């Protein structure tokens, strides 16, 4: 049981390049999230999904797109990378229950540097 797996773990991009980060979970969770972690800023929610085929904007969605075509996968795309998107990206998943009384499980993170 792998839990939440993020691919890749490290990446260096040039400004203007595009890339997709993959998050895969094998726990059959409905909810999935993408966060970015920056020093002094904590974790900021980029986008999230409450089920297959659904996505919603979080706190800092600009410059990112997401897709949830399969329940177990949540993809985060950067169409034209900018240095301001240099960050550590965390994916999380969470099972739904009445009233949201469940914890989130996190992946190991993806360290992205845009030069």
Give the nearest distance from C-beta 47 to another protein in angstroms.
Answer: 11
Nearest to 83 by CA among 115, 38, 50: 115
The first and second tokens of residue 90, run together, are 């965390």
Judged by CB under 8 A, which of 80, 84, 108, 113 binds another protein? 108
Q: What is the DSSP string of 50-61?
A: SSTT--EE-SS-
Select from 15-23, 66-74, 78-86, 99-107 the region that touches another protein (CB under 8 A): 99-107
Window 1-60: residues binding another protein (CB under 8 A)? 30-31, 33, 35, 40-45, 48-50, 56, 58-59
């Amino acid at each position: 049981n792998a839990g939440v797996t993020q691919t890749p773990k490290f990446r260096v991009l040039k400004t203007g390049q595009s890339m997709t980060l993959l998050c895969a979970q094998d726990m059959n969770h409905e909810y999935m999230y993408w966060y970015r972690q920056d020093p002094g800023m904590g974790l900021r929610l980029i986008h999230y999904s409450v089920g297959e085929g659904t996505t919603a904007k979080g706190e800092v969605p600009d410059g990112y797109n997401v897709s949830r075509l399969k329940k177990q996968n949540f993809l985060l795309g950067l169409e034209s990378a900018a240095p301001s998107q240099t960050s550590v990206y965390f994916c999380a998943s969470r099972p739904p229950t009445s009233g949201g009384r469940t914890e989130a499980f996190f992946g190991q993170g993806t360290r992205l540097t845009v030069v």
